[in-house]
Structure 1
């Protein structure tokens, strides 16, 4: 077959094509940092002289897991690792890739390793891989075939295999501050090559700050908002209040209904109620609603708070929680949310006691420790003649007939246990009155028990 005529490459056309392709990429991708000094945020992790920075700059990189919120720079840091180490960069997403794709990438890395070139394998959303998929990386990490860099927004302790964690160092990355995001936005506005510098878009300091705050710790999100605002402003125009009103109208805060942020925020809500801080409790309640949390879940959790942390210090808290729960169930959102907000304020403001909770746990421990104890004879039910003849209910003192309405000279516990004290009311709220009463009764019971013991000794 005749050889095809090969034309020399049209360099000018290729260059123009590359420029066009670059222009099609989102601003956040075009402005991705090229050096460690270009990265914004992560001052603790990448500070001059830090262990990770020294490792990256020397090219002696290690397998790691980068744990942090979206847009904090996990992908960028992985790219820089490969750049400084002069290694091949390969990226896969655990959302899209399966085990066959993983094996193919690992096989390619193996061939590259034989040829003397390392591969930095970046696995985005690594927590979405199951155990078998995570295990596939282990031998390749051990042999050094790949430098594994996993990125996750979830707590690695819960989401990643211990075998994988033992072979990687976990680096915690933080949400980027508004000030650092603002720095990235200014760079994008000034950069004529990759950014918006050639468009002449004018953004005031105030508007730039509003965009940085709306980014909510996510640099990528901030750059995306800036790009949209600049498109609305048109070339040579200015970003106005009206422009930002359109751009920021539907922004949402970071929240993961099934992830660590969810449990961190419900923990903050519960602990703010427990600390009698209604303002903080209302804030976290509002944050969770804003993030899309099911209000019925919050109603259930607050009912638990009424039982666990308020208890008998204010017995009104539990029915109030049930009422607020039912109110929301009937009214729905947004009207029913006010009932839940009132409940949050009340629970955080009223007296607190976990005495009932502690008492219940203590009684459960004794049940496990002492096993199946016989009910004392005087407390047993005696519905038949035979049972009465056997001594069932013998010696039982009917409390309503006793002085003061309490028969003090009898125990309510199995003989092997003796009297126990589980419930210790606090000196707050309604429990203060309960404490006074129980202190008197318990003291009288102890006195009666001592008197009974003295009589038994004397008779013996």
Structure 2
């Protein structure tokens, strides 16, 4: 098994004196055994671990949330493979920077040395920039490791994806983050061991919980708490943490996949008549800073798409809640959105109107510009009347039961259609009874005419 070696050319990742580096950087794992979390990927005997330990590694995309270990895995890959390491950020680098790094890697390759090229936030590179890596990956002059917090299927071009294996990293659990915090507290060389910092287990767990799956964030919070604890004889107290953890935020990306995952969870919780789950996801999005008007608009859509005529009051409540938020603003107006979510999730559901609309729209596209039947046309002039406009029209209010049963309302070439099929829930139970009876009567009347 290859042992990790020192890595040259790390572009500043470990060049500064350790005393100047933040705790999270100083405590970065140096072997696979030091990695916390990601057991599926780096557990003993796993395919990726065997590849890294043997030095027979492949170009890859590491997809996961911030602080889950993407950079660390790339560094370890280079160490175990005894390869040079170069890191660039798609946020800070342009195509000239990419070409320069690739030229350096090519020179090393020709000298018989390998280079691991780590590209952070690779999804921020455009197609042309991503394409620049392809020939170098193919000839093996670089081992490409791209890191992204976004779904590679949406953000990376297919040519790059076809040359890399995608590894999915998960948020690190609170228990694993506690392990990383304990290691930092006990490490006298790189961590806080020399300071003799004391902290109770339940407070350490609170820091890990506040880290929200991000090891780097957890270590940063611990470092800040340790600095404050110097004035408290080295003891991290509840009061200390109250200062450190004030106004912390959860993971949320207004433009990324987490955003769409969470609105999907909210919508599906409403559809599943689970008000508790729906309220949870609403609060997650509110907490993450989601645009409240966007939420009001999406909730209004749920009222018409998933509740519809099973409870027509839902749409009125949605527009009223939207208006209430406009008038009250945050935070008071958010209660109107919460109340709406609970109602939408609790009331009867039907997508019959939504399905009917899509079916009718499909017929419109398929059958084109059909003529309006003559008996349904308006005839405001003598000429139009003489041409037969309005001829044969039956005024429904004069018919028995207020419906002219034998009269069709569809274009002649299409014949009758049935789009709306009410479900047996909510108000649609009564609508279904009425429409079933009318449709049957219409069929009989047309059969006699």
Q: Confirm or deny a common fold (TM above 0.5).
A: yes
Counterparts of 1:226-245 in structure 2, within 5 Å, are: 226-234=222-230, 237-245=234-242
Does 1:358 pair with 2:355?
A: yes
Does 1:436 pair with 2:433?
A: yes
Displacement, 1:391?
2.3
Question: Counterparts of 2:443 and 2:289 in 1: how far apart (Å)?
Answer: 55
Does 1:445 pair with 2:449?
A: no
Residues 184-237 of structure 1 deviation map (CA, whole Å, 9 limit, x = unaligned): 111111111111111111111111100110000000000111111111111852
Structure 1 match to 2:10: none
Displacement, 1:329?
0.7
Residues 372-411 of structure 1 deviation map (CA, whole Å, 9 limit, x = unaligned): 2122222122222333233222221110000000000011
Question: Counterparts of 1:180 and 1:173 in 2: how far apart (Å)?
Answer: 14
Counterparts of 1:25-424 in structure 2, within 5 Å, are: 25-234=21-230, 237-424=234-421
After superposing the two structures, state which structure 1 stretch, 375-384 or 289-298, moved more.
375-384
Match of 1:72, SS state, is coil
Structure 2 gaps, min length 5: 1-13
* Shift >4 Å, 4+ stretches: none
Question: Counterparts of 1:77 and 1:307 in 2: how far apart (Å)?
Answer: 47
Displacement, 1:347?
0.9
After superposing the two structures, state which structure 1 stretch, 365-374 or 399-408, moved more.
365-374
Match of 1:83, SS state, is helix
Displacement, 1:328?
0.8
TM-score normalised over the length of structure 1: 0.93
Question: Counterparts of 2:137 and 2:388 in 1: how far apart (Å)?
Answer: 74
Q: Which structure has the larger Rg? A: 1
> Alignment length, in residue pairs?
435
Question: Counterparts of 1:357 and 1:57 in 2: how far apart (Å)?
Answer: 55
Closer, same or farther in 2 for the Cα pair 1:108/1:451, shift >3 Å?
A: same
Displacement, 1:308?
0.7
Closer, same or farther in 2 for the Cα pair 1:425/1:36, shift >3 Å?
A: same
Displacement, 1:69?
0.2
Displacement, 1:19?
12
CA-based RMSD of the aligned residues comes to 1.4
Question: Counterparts of 2:319 and 2:415 in 1: how far apart (Å)?
Answer: 38
Displacement, 1:445?
0.7
Residues 233-281 of structure 1 deviation map (CA, whole Å, 9 limit, x = unaligned): 1185211111111111121100001111111111111111111111111
Displacement, 1:287?
0.6
TM-score normalised over the length of structure 2: 0.95
